[in-house]
Amino acid sequence: MLDRRKQHKNFSEHEERRKKDRRQHHRLPVVEGLVEPINLRYALPGEEKSVAQPAVMTNLSAGGMLIVTFMEPPHSKRFEMDLNIPGLHHVPIEGQILRVHSKGEVHTVAIAFVKISDKDKHHISRMAQDYTDCETRISLNLPEACVPTCQCHPLCTKIQKAPHWPPRA
């Protein structure tokens, strides 16, 4: 009986790791000490006029983002948005809603990027990779956790952030 429990536990751990590894792109947590408001623009079915809706981005990757909104999310499958956060200025993106989790008036929305420039996709990927590398250096207690080439520097709120590097233009 004990062996079965141990096998089940090992299988569960393996399944959990496998689920984590399914992601194609590194995630960049955005809310860590920082709230990034964004505006979604989308057209209602049968109408040409677009509607703006405020939201808060909680994580970002080259393939999509997770947002929280306090208004019902768009019922259209695809919509346009303008991503404007430190390090990324007015990036036009076409997104597709993957899933919505609602609890009362709070809606968590997973969005996949359908249309984004290769340049912006690469930049977001570098930001996420640099964030991950920074976390690794911090966990290893390396003296230089913050490096001058970090693409995530404009969003960083960590106490290890080196203040002497100017923000990138």
Q: Report which of 160, 154, 155 is spatially closest to residue 135, judged by C-alpha positions.
A: 160
Check if the beta carbon of residue 113 is closer than 8 Å to that of residue 68. Answer: no
Identify the pLDDT of residue 110: 92
Encode pLDDT of 69-98 as tens digits: 988 887 777 778 878 777 788 888 888 899
Encode pLDDT of 11-37 as tens digits: 455 455 445 555 666 666 664 544 567
**Angstrom distance (rounded) from CA 160 to CA 80:** 36
Half-sphere exposure of 17 (CA within 13 A, CB side): 6
Check if the beta carbon of residue 53 is closer than 8 Å to that of residue 74. Answer: yes
CATH for 24-161, among 3.40.50.720, 3.90.1150.10, 2.40.10.220, 3.40.1180.10?
Answer: 2.40.10.220
Q: Where do the structural domains in the chain lie, given as residue ranges?
A: 24-161
Q: What is the pTM of this model?
A: 0.71
Between the ranges 35-39, 93-97, 115-119, 134-138, where is the mean pLDDT highest? 115-119
Mean pLDDT (whole number) for 121-140: 90
CA angle 78, 79, 81 (to 5 degrees): 145
